[in-house]
């Protein structure tokens, strides 16, 4: 069983996140959090920021460019070795 602080759920379904955890994760009153089920457990996590999402897209675009460059080189090498593919 995991360690943690025992908390009561209020009548409206509210629970207070312990101060130590709020401070450690930089969660303040009014912040958004994501709550979902994962492997039979409730998980509370901070949503990704716009900058984190943008960085993910930048990394994916860079990887796509790298793969396109690599494939272009392989295609050129194949054409030199085999020649152009016949028209079917």
- Could you tell me the residue ranges of all domains in the chain? 14-47, 48-78
The residues, ordered by sequence, that sit 6+ positions from 33 with a Cβ below 8 Å of its Cβ are 27, 44, 45, 46, 47
Query: pLDDT tens digit string along 20-60?
Result: 999 999 999 999 999 999 999 999 998 888 898 999 999 99
pLDDT digits (tens, 9 = 90+) for 68-88: 888 887 777 777 777 666 666
What pLDDT, on a 0 to 100 scale, did the predictor assign at position 76?
73
Tell me the pLDDT band of 1, cut-offs 50, 70 and 90.
very low
């Amino acid at each position: 069983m995991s360690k943690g602080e025992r908390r009561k759920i209020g009548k409206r379904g509210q629970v207070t996140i312990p101060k130590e955890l709020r401070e450690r994760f930089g969660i303040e009153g009014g912040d958004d959090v994501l709550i979902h089920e994962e492997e039979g457990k409730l998980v509370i996590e901070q949503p990704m920021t716009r900058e984190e999402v943008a960085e993910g897209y930048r990394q994916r675009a860079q990887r796509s460019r790298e793969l396109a460059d690599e494939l272009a080189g392989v295609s050129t090498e194949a054409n030199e070795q085999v020649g152009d593919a016949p028209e079917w």
